[in-house]
């Protein structure tokens, strides 16, 4: 059996996947290296310049030179060899292995190869510190595949920390405390006549102030809504950010937030909007949908009970928002906040969010479904912008006077 390499030469560099001895240890590199420095060793591994490296040589390097790859990558590399009928690993698969960006075909090759290997279960590892035990817990909470869990466990680094969801939550709490002290009201703050005067609240009469389409997440109806959203952002949002990264989770959260305010401006044109429910429901619905679609692979304890509890709590929050929206307003108060952000956030989570969570360490740009979702979301944004510019006057909507 052989492991193939794909050399490409120019005047000064050779770009290839190869085994290279450095400081008496075997390192697997995919990078540009000078020919003068490394070519002798390359020729030693492949004296006939066939473009292949024998797997026997690779095995010897692993056993005698302490190959500096974490256990999950070593396991996957052997699985790739086992998965190929000719016993070869192509250059692109090696790139995906080391770059941590994997395609669906790569995943299938790993899955097929691992069936022939003796697999270790991450739960069996002992002697772990507090942080590593927490990382293992997060892996079993979020990821449905054992190979993905091992990959995340060995690749995880505390830096950068999952700061996005934590910062959003802290800011929401600070803003709520400030307005609670100012209004001297901690529950159902929207009934206070001065609540809607905040420059953070989305109000249909202030649509020209575009920042309100996002900043409404920092205002909440009361302690009950803030507590629910903050709890889910920390319990679900932070682990998701740890596994999938700041960029993807912040993108999903912000998409849910924007979809929430824009949906309200289209479907509930007279209502204001407060609370981070659009982003929260995008995260939660994506996670729950991922759990359902990978039910047998998920190893989180009491998953059925927790699923039922989550659905009951989320449904209760929607019911509270619906009741508040249609409850008789006080003479001094304006219409109560809309509940449509909850529903639109859930739609974003089931579509965009589910694809993100199912593409752990895979390149989204390579997937046609990702571009379909991006195109659909962009179309919705453009439609909503034009709707907010023209529809209110054309339809003669009577907007409550802004405070």
Whether 348 contacts 282, CB under 8 Å: yes
As a whole number of angstroms, the distance between CA 108 and CA 231 comes to: 36
- Of 218, 230, 241, nearest to 171 by C-alpha is 218
- Is residue 3 classed as helix, strand or coil in its secondary structure? strand
Establish whether 342 is a catalytic residue: yes
**Residue 57: how many other CB atoms lie within 10 Å:** 15
Question: In which element (H, E) is residue 22 found?
Answer: strand 13-22
Task: Find where tokens 């008496």 sit.
Answer: 24
The residue ranges of DSSP E strands in 247-378, in sequence order, are: none
**DSSP letter at 32?**
E
Establish whether 277 is a catalytic residue: yes
Q: Is 167 exposed, middle or buried (0-12, 13-18, 19+ CB in 10 A)?
A: exposed
As a whole number of angstroms, the distance between CA 64 and CA 98 comes to: 21
The active-site residue, picked from 277, 338, 351, 359, is 277
As a whole number of angstroms, the distance between CA 170 and CA 185 comes to: 20
As a whole number of angstroms, the distance between CA 246 and CA 307 comes to: 25
The active-site residue, picked from 342, 344, 351, 359, is 342
Task: Find where tokens 């006057």 sit.
Answer: 393
Catalytic residues, by residue number, are 277, 342
């Amino acid at each position: 059996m052989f492991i193939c390499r794909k050399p490409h030469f120019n005047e000064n560099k050779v770009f290839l996947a190869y085994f290279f001895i450095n400081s008496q240890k075997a390192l697997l590199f995919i990078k540009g290296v000078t020919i003068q420095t490394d070519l002798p060793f390359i020729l030693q591994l492949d004296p006939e310049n066939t473009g292949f490296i024998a797997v026997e040589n690779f095995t010897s390097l692993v056993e005698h030179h302490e190959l500096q790859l974490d256990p999950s990558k070593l396991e996957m590399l052997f699985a790739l060899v086992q998965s190929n009928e000719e016993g070869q690993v192509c250059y692109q698969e090696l790139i995906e292995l080391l770059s941590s960006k994997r395609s669906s075909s790569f995943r299938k090759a790993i899955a097929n190869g691992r069936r022939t290997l003796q697999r270790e279960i991450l739960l069996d590892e002992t002697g772990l510190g507090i942080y590593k035990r927490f990382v293992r817990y997060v892996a079993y909470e979020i990821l449905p595949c054992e190979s993905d869990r091992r990959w995340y466990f060995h690749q995880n680094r505390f830096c950068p920390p999952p700061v996005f969801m934590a910062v959003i939550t802290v800011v929401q709490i600070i803003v709520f405390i400030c307005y609670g002290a100012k209004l001297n009201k901690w529950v159902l703050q929207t009934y206070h006549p001065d609540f809607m005067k905040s420059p953070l609240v989305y109000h249909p009469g202030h649509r020209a102030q575009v920042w309100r389409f996002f900043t409404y997440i920092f205002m909440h109806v009361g302690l009950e809504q803030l507590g629910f959203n903050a709890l889910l952002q920390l319990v679900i949002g932070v682990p998701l950010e740890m596994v999938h990264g700041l960029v993807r989770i912040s993108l999903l959260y912000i998409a849910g937030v924007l979809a929430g305010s824009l949906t309200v401006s289209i479907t509930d044109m007279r209502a204001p909007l407060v609370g981070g429910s659009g982003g929260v429901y995008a995260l939660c619905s994506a996670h729950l949908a991922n759990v359902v679609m990978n039910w047998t692979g998920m190893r989180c304890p009491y998953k059925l009970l927790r699923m039922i509890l989550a659905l009951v709590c989320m449904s209760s929050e929607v019911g509270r928002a619906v009741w508040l929206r249609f409850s008789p307003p006080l003479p001094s108060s304006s219409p109560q906040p809309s509940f449509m952000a909850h529903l639109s956030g859930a739609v974003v989570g089931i579509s965009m969010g589910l694809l993100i969570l199912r593409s752990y360490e895979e390149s989204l740009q390579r997937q046609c479904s990702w571009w379909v979702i991006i195109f659909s979301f962009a179309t919705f944004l453009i439609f909503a912008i034009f709707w907010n510019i023209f529809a209110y006057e054309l339809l003669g909507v009577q907007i409550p006077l802004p405070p």
